[in-house]
Amino acid sequence: MTADNFNKNDEVNSSESEIFIESEDSADDQAKQKNAVVTNNLTVYFNKRSAIEDVNVKIKKNSVTAVIGPSGCGKSTFLRSLNMMHEMTPSAKVFGEIYINGESIMNFNMVDLRKKVGMVFQKPNPFPTMSIFDNVAAGFKLNGSAGKNDLNEIVEKNLINAGLWDEVKDRLKSPAVSLSGGQQQRLCIARTIAVNPEIVLLDEPTSALDPVSSSKIEELLYNLKSEYTIIIVTHNMQQAARVSDQTAFFYLGKLIEISRTRKMFTNPKEKLTEEYITGKFG
């Protein structure tokens, strides 16, 4: 893998984008305020079997963090714990602490938390009975918090931010499902950011897309990090190298290593990380 694959701002911002494995006493108030996400001993069980165990991380605001590892290692479990998605699974039990911009997620109800922590899934899931316009405006219509003129501005702004406006501006009333797969995924991102979340979670958002659509999503993530903290699960290590400031490597439910992306891909701390990155397993 060449240096060209890495985030072009990595060297300039390397001192700012570094995150560390958290020690027992480092999740103090200052750390919680400084970071978008802090977890202390985060553990998730399904049917009394651990999916992830004792995950301690700090993720800085306005950065892109990639989560990598082989299938079944706990990547998606970690991601979904950050906005209480496991609360919907009766067999799931979540232990430990999660702080979002300095505040425990236990202080929020699920609706309010998911306004702060948006989620984009692997398969594009626009609301099938709604138009392109109504998909983006759905959150505001549900809350009754915007007038018609405001909605027009909100929809345009977020379709522009999602890199989709020029492609759909003349057919906003068309069904969302009339879009291509890549366009649908960008529409889902526009819908997610329309309610102004603080953190955007993406669970393998390009795995079902063609290379051109994937490239557009990657460019979008780079542009969005100035406004949001982004955490992306990906099975594609080249993608992790291209889009992220830092990378977390999971294996068998454990966080093995988390560091600046360039450092992890050129000089990983752990031998297991090196073996995974070089393709010896996974």
**Sorting pLDDT into bands at 50, 70 and 90, what band is 228?**
very high
Query: How would residue 2 be classed by pLDDT, with cut points 50, 70 and 90?
Result: very low
pLDDT at 125 (0 to 100): 94
State the pLDDT at residue 6: 46
Element (DSSP H or E) covering residue 24: none
The predicted structure's pLDDT at residue 237:
93
Taking alpha carbons only, the member of 105, 99, 78 closest to residue 27 is 99
The rounded distance, in Å, linking the Cα atoms of 146 and 42 is 37
CA distance 201 to 234: 11
Residue extents of the structural domains in the chain: 3-126+196-277
Please choose, from the candidates 178, 262, 192, 256, the residue with its C-alpha nearest in 3D space to the C-alpha of residue 221: 192
Check residue 23 and report its DSSP letter. Answer: P
How confident is the model over 10-20, as a mean pLDDT? 39
Q: Within the chain, where are the H helices? A: 14-17, 29-34, 75-81, 110-116, 132-143, 148-161, 165-168, 181-193, 211-224, 237-243, 261-266, 271-277
Cβ–Cβ < 8 Å for 53, 45: no
Which CATH class name applies to 3-126+196-277? alpha beta
Answer whether residue 220 shows pLDDT above 60: yes
pLDDT band at 92 (very low <50, low <70, confident <90, very high): very high
The mean pLDDT value for 107-121 works out to 92
Task: Please give the Cα distance from 190 to 137 (Å, whole number).
Answer: 9
Q: Checking phi first, is residue 31 left (phi over 0); if not, alpha (psi -120 to 50) or beta?
A: alpha
Token pair 């752990």 is found at 270
Strands 49-60 and 35-46: antiparallel
pLDDT at residue 52 is higher than 80: yes
Per-residue pLDDT band for 15 (boundaries 50, 70, 90) equals very low
Mean pLDDT of 218-236: 94
pLDDT at 214 over 60: yes
What's at 239, amino acid-wise?
Q
- Spatial contact of 243 and 5, defined as CB atoms under 8 Å apart: no
Q: Does residue 129 surpass a pLDDT of 80?
A: yes
Q: Sheet harboring 35-46: ordered strands across?
A: 49-60, 35-46, 92-100, 103-104
**DSSP string over 46-96:** ETTEEEEEEEEEEEETT-EEEEE-STTSSHHHHHHHTTTGGGG-TTEEEEE
Give the rounded percent of residues in the chain with a pLDDT score beyond 70: 85
The average pLDDT across 77-91 equals 93
Helix (H) or strand (E) holding 44: strand 35-46
pLDDT at residue 32 greater than cutoff 70: no
Give SS3 for 199: strand
Confidence of residue 11 (pLDDT cuts 50, 70, 90): very low
Residues 130-168 pLDDT 10s: 999 999 999 877 665 556 668 899 999 999 999 999 999
- What is the per-residue pLDDT across 257-269, written as a single tens digit (0 to 9) for each? 999 999 999 999 9
- The values of phi and psi at residue 272, to 5°, are -60, -40
- The pLDDT score that the predictor gives to residue 281 is 83
pLDDT digits (tens, 9 = 90+) for 171-211: 999 999 999 999 999 999 999 999 999 999 999 999 989 99
**Rounded-to-integer distance, Cα 39 and Cα 56, Å:** 5
Residue with tokens 């948006």: 118
> Is 256 a residue whose pLDDT tops 50?
yes
Q: Give the Cα separation of 270 and 247 in Å (integer).
A: 13
Give the distance, in angstroms, between the CA of residue 34 and the centroid of all CA atoms in the same chain. 18
CA distance 93 to 84: 11
